[in-house]
Structure 1
Amino acid sequence: MQVTVRFFAAARAAAGVDETVVDVADSITLGELEHTLADGNPELARVLERCSYLRDETALCDRTRRLAPVRVLDVLPPFAGG
């Protein structure tokens, strides 16, 4: 499955891109995708540990939960004041 991952704020800075498209198995979990995204980028790994996510505009917090089906995953680090 192809997933468009959109990075915001500190996640964007750590990733070095606004968004990326990844091909992943339908069975991938949020936690596994975090590891895939952060492979070779320890700064991004640190940021992702603190992030919350929107899966096709619906909040997703459980890192053991499967992502499928999903088209867009928004990566939201903690924002100032909240």
Structure 2
Amino acid sequence: MSKHIGKIILAHRKKSNLTQKQLADLAGVGKTVVFDLEKGKATVQLNSLLKILSALNIKLELTSPLMHLMEEFDEES
């Protein structure tokens, strides 16, 4: 999974003509975070991943067979 995400980030970064440093600066993270993600390391913090995805305009969606239960819970709140 982490290698797949890394390949997506790499492809979007290159298509945007950004260096790893430029992307890191845009996202407000260190260059090593971008490097680690692109290499498929699974140790990157979720917050850093979300910042990079946002900088590249990549939308992250979570799906679950229990999503309908979450919607019911939200309606009750």
Fold shared by both chains (TM-score > 0.5): no
Q: Which has the higher contact order (CA 8 A, sep 6+)?
A: 1
Larger helix proportion of the pair: 2
Calculate the TM-score normalised by the size of structure 1: 0.28
Look at both structures and tell me which one has the larger radius of gyration over its CA atoms: 2
